Amino acid sequence: MIRKLILVVIVSVVFIFSVTPVFSQSLKGLSLGGTTGLITTPTGRIGWEESSDLGIDIGYHFSTNRGFGENESIINIAVSMFKKLEAGLTFDSQSGDNLSDLILFGKFQIFNDGQSGMAVGANLQLLDITSDIKRTFSQVYLASTYSGDFMEIPASTTIVFGKTFDIESGLNDRIDFSMGFDMALFPQVFNGYVRWISEFANYSYSADSRITDANTRGAFNSGLRINILGGSAYKLVIDATLMDVFDEGIDKFTIGGSFGFSLK
């Protein structure tokens, strides 16, 4: 299983970076985990890379199912520093018998040429923080994002390779892998302000996620990302996504977005 996964990663990376570079910039919205990314997948981008030495992004996503019986409110705060570093926290408030979680995260961009970006990141997941039985997980990863044209449509592709482990129990033999796409939707009509984002991942933004059951089989998530303040010095991005659509059907979804501004 691990050998097949490594082979998929190698083939995917070779394919992406063999494409003739064409510039296209993805929308830098926040993932559910808080870091700049797709839906649950972090990207190789930083929220204010090459544009500000200090920027702040604040995100909120509401997740539920068709019966509105499993609700989650996810609040993110991400700070971009020195055009290379991103750090912040995510608070995941879960309804019913589920308990709330706190995630601390950081990401450092090691490469950026305007079209491609690569970053290393990590998070600390403090799960069930209001319970007597608390759990602690952590994830480390390498995220690589390439921007180019797909059939003359501006797009970017992200591959993530990492590891999530239970700090109390130690390491296991599972490897985190995800691959996601960010593509302009009808660019001649929407001028790149509306994007289709999708991903397949065998992990979620948290080991305690109620939105996807990615740990045992992987999950496919897909939806729209809309840039409200196109060309502005500020950032306002709206997300509407379907979660785990192949196994759960059209049952779980999230809606929310992020607002950002630079201080320096």
Low-confidence ranges of the chain (pLDDT < 70): 1-27, 95-98, 230-231, 248-249
Domains of the chain: 2-262 (2.40.160.40)
**Cβ(14)–Cβ(7) below 8 Å:** no
Q: Provide the token pair at 154.
A: 């501006």
Full-model pTM = 0.85
Closest CA to 72 of 263, 212, 260: 212
Tell me how far apart the alpha carbons of residues 33 and 260 are, in angstroms, rounded to a whole number: 16
Q: Count of residues for the chain?
A: 264
pLDDT, residue 96, reads: 62
pLDDT (0 to 100) of residue 197: 96
Looking at residue 4, its pLDDT comes to: 42
pLDDT of residue 202: 93
- Which residue spans within the chain are E strands per DSSP? 54-65, 72-81, 85-94, 101-112, 116-127, 135-150, 153-166, 176-184, 194-201, 219-227, 235-243, 252-262
How wide is the angle at C-alpha 32 spanned by C-alphas 166 and 60, nearest 5°? 130
Predicted local confidence at residue 98, as pLDDT: 60
- Percentage of the chain surpassing pLDDT 90? 55
